[in-house]
Amino acid sequence: MKVSESKILMSSLFATGIAGIVSEYVLATLATYFLGNSVFQWTIILSIMLFSMGLGSRLSKLVNNYVIEYFIGAELLLSFLTSMCALLVYSLMGVTDYIEIFIYILAVLVGLLIGLEIPLVTRINGRYHDLKANISSVMEKDYYGSLIGGLFFAFIGLPYLGLTYTPFVLGMVNLIVASLLFFKFSRRLNKTLKKVLLSAIIGLFMVIVFGIYYAKPIILFGEQSRYIDKVVYSQQTKYQKITLTASYNHHILYLNNSMQLNTMDEWLYHEPLVHAPMLLNSSKKNILILGGGDGCGIREVLKYPEVESIKIIDLDPDMTNFGANNPVFKELNNNSYHNKKVTVLNQDAFIALENDSQYYDLIIIDFPDPRSIELSRLYTKEMYSFCRKRLKMDGIIITQATSPYFQAKAFYCINKTMQSAGFNTLPIHNHVQSFGEWGWIIGSKIYSNDQMKSTLSSIKKLPINNTKWLTTDALDMMTKFGKPVGDTTSLEINSIHNPVLFKYYLKGTEFNQSFYE
């Protein structure tokens, strides 16, 4: 009898470890999507959780009576918060501009409950084991549960269930275990509190079922509140949130709530990205595109009949599948993914380049902006050094480089970092209506800045006639810059061990405002 009660207690603590850690991971992921800066958000959320666990443990000293009842009550509250955390965040998205405060409060509450439960279950379990065995058993089950929760979130929850249903699965598991605990200890519970707890269990089952049924419309409401236009597609992948909105005759693609492309004017971005380096290249046979999962870059490259192969390296298979098969993008990129010249490798570009043995005539880098340490890693000296090794001697490389005006320090940091990797560079820019003034950096092993600029300026006729915007005059115009916005002489090189680029990027707007004051 006693062994059985001890086992159900340990099962409850194991479930607490799973549910608690998963709810914190969900909150950290949501904070990253909505607020950006993943390293900061994960650090803050987990630090708040651990601190709150300490507070919860301290509060447990105030519980002198009804220890089992308090423990079951804490389990039920944890089940509720675990199940509803994502839904609550999305529900409030449309009514507050301070969602980060609510996310941090949820992290505090989850931490408090976990911290409260561990001392309580230790006291309850003390009647079944001596101190040594009791403490080790309690901590062991909680830590094991945290590991299982982490593995579940990484390999099953986020990639397959998404942030919509992962919390409900874990919350329901915790509720079931708490219910078993309630019925196992029912004879020892205070009669009044027993009725309250039973009502809470029944009510919580109903709330979770209600939440599962209405999760999609509630989350869609939260998603829609972030965008002016109608959300017509939303997918949580293993790596990012893909959202597509529609308005009148155009669509806008967002990744993690950051605009990536507007079908109204995307050629103002993709034509400079592809044709400027292509026109500098004498050989155009083997092309490598890093990122660019929307497929528009492939579309532009395929306008050159001499191209023999195009390799796309993009981390997220759901993104390349979206670009290849979503009706809007399939039409936008002229079904480019299904061209026999195109191969797709879904792998981390940094690792893929490090292990690659092929040489390329042109490398096109079309990653999202470096707004986090993870993305900043793709703009490092080490990354460009790998590119240089894979580039033929007379080959050309180009990378999108954010705005030379709104993120001036980031733009010129990318330029300086490419130079440190052994490239001669040529910055270019164009006005993209959806983004404002935008820039790219072209790099070459053998051609100087003046040589590349002279080549583009001297082109009298484009070798292709199906561009929407690009002309020979535009090619010449794109190489012309005024003075940099502010002082860019003391910029540091972005590297793995000194990731400064994302800081420059995040401070870009602040930097420009202070410059113009």
d(Cα 113, Cα 348) in Å, to the nearest integer? Answer: 38
Kindly state whether residues 506 and 452 are assigned to the same domain. Answer: yes
d(Cα 147, Cα 44) in Å, to the nearest integer? Answer: 20
Q: Where are the beta strands (DSSP E) in 200-357?
A: 230-236, 241-247, 250-255, 258-262, 286-291, 309-313, 342-345
d(Cα 2, Cα 125) in Å, to the nearest integer? Answer: 10
Segment 14-56, tens digit of pLDDT: 888 888 888 889 999 888 877 777 788 899 999 999 999 999 9
d(Cα 111, Cα 106) in Å, to the nearest integer? Answer: 9
**CATH number, domain with residue 362:** 3.40.50.150
Say how many C-beta atoms besides its own lie within 10 A of residue 210's C-beta: 11
Kindly state whether residues 241 and 213 are assigned to the same domain. Answer: no
pTM above 0.85, yes or no: no
Written as tens digits, the pLDDT of the chain (517 aa) is 444 777 888 888 888 888 888 888 999 988 887 777 778 889 999 999 999 999 999 999 999 899 999 999 999 999 999 999 888 888 887 677 788 899 999 999 999 999 998 898 888 887 777 778 878 888 888 889 899 999 999 889 888 888 888 999 989 988 998 898 898 888 888 999 999 999 999 999 999 999 898 888 887 777 787 788 888 998 888 888 899 999 888 999 999 888 999 999 999 999 999 999 999 988 999 999 999 999 999 999 999 999 999 999 999 999 999 999 999 999 999 999 999 999 999 999 989 998 899 999 999 999 999 988 888 999 999 999 999 999 999 999 999 999 998 899 999 999 999 999 999 999 999 999 999 999 999 999 999 999 999 999 999 999 998 899 999 999 999 999 988 877 778 899 999 999 999 989 988 754 454 443 3
CA distances for 141 relative to 22, 166, 170, angstroms? 16, 21, 16
Catalytic residue among 366, 450, 473, 487: 366
Structural domain boundaries, residue 50: 2-224
Are 471 and 384 a contacting pair, CB within 8 Å?
no
| Residue matched to tokens 């320090």 | 409
Please give the structure tokens belonging to residue 239.
């790596």
In this structure, the strands spanning 241-247 and 250-255 are antiparallel
List Cβ neighbours of 283 (8 Å cut-off, separation of 6 or more). 361, 392, 394, 395
| Residue matched to tokens 């100087």 | 448
- Tally the residues of the chain: 517
Within its chain, how far is the Cα of 277 from the centroid?
29
**CATH number, domain with residue 144:** 1.20.1250.20
Segment 295-344, tens digit of pLDDT: 999 999 999 999 999 999 999 999 999 999 999 999 999 999 999 999 99
* Known catalytic residue at 314: no
Kindly state whether residues 249 and 268 are assigned to the same domain. Answer: no
Kindly state whether residues 161 and 196 are assigned to the same domain. Answer: yes
Kindly state whether residues 406 and 472 are assigned to the same domain. Answer: yes
Please give the structure tokens belonging to residue 169.
């699965």
d(Cα 184, Cα 218) in Å, to the nearest integer? Answer: 36
Please give the structure tokens belonging to residue 54.
């300490």
Kindly state whether residues 26 and 109 are assigned to the same domain. Answer: yes
Helices (H), 36-125: 38-59, 67-93, 99-125
Kindly state whether residues 375 and 454 are assigned to the same domain. Answer: yes
For 398-439, give the DSSP string: EEE---TTTTHHHHHHHHHHHHHTT-EEEEEEEEETTTEEEE
Count of domains for the chain: 3
d(Cα 181, Cα 194) in Å, to the nearest integer? Answer: 12
Kindly state whether residues 190 and 269 are assigned to the same domain. Answer: no
Kindly state whether residues 199 and 334 are assigned to the same domain. Answer: no
Kindly state whether residues 379 and 455 are assigned to the same domain. Answer: yes
List Cβ neighbours of 480 (8 Å cut-off, separation of 6 or more). none
Kindly state whether residues 149 and 276 are assigned to the same domain. Answer: no
In this structure, the strands spanning 309-313 and 342-345 are parallel
Kindly state whether residues 459 and 314 are assigned to the same domain. Answer: yes
